[in-house]
A = this chain, B = another copy of it.
């Protein structure tokens, strides 16, 4: 659903062909907020076209490349966009963090391995925190606040995650994951 929303949002600015959408997404670091899978993108575009929420404006043919089909958002599409936005805000979809599950069970397996991987994750997350902050800073005077909130929010979420990972790592190193009784000290 959020792929559809994204497509509608970008077509609002100007007409584009699917591949162009991916370029704009990367340019704006939107691929951090939504998983960019080409398959899903083309699928979503087809579905939107089927429902007349977008329509083909032009097909650029070329002998050596696949044809480019340029799409435009319709009025029906604009309505759908409003619906989707409101729907997404409404459903208080828990953050289903895939790591949570793995970590809960990690005490059953080789702690050395868990330790190494966690260290890797911590390093990666540190990079993400820095990158997210940089992206935020660079965009302060460029994008509207709505977009800026995403960037700052992403930074904060990453930071929260980093702190969490570090606490986990400490306990794995101390071989304490199976202990009971003591509270977490942040």
Contact = CB atoms under 8 A, between A and B. Distances in A.
Interface of A: 1-2, 5-6, 8-9, 12, 30, 32-35, 81-82, 84-86, 88-90, 92-110, 113-114, 117-118, 120-121, 124-125, 128, 136, 140-150, 152-154, 156-157, 160-161, 163-164, 167-168, 171, 176-184, 186
Contact of A184 (B30, B121, B149, B182): B149
Nearest to A78: B108
Contacts of A150: 100, 103-104
A55 to B, nearest CB: 19
A95 B176 contact: no
Nearest to A109: B82
A148 B103 CA distance: 10
A108, A109, A117, A145, most chain B CB atoms within 10 A: A145
B177 A125 contact: no
A76 B67 CA distance: 48
A186 B153 CA distance: 10
A144 B180 contact: yes
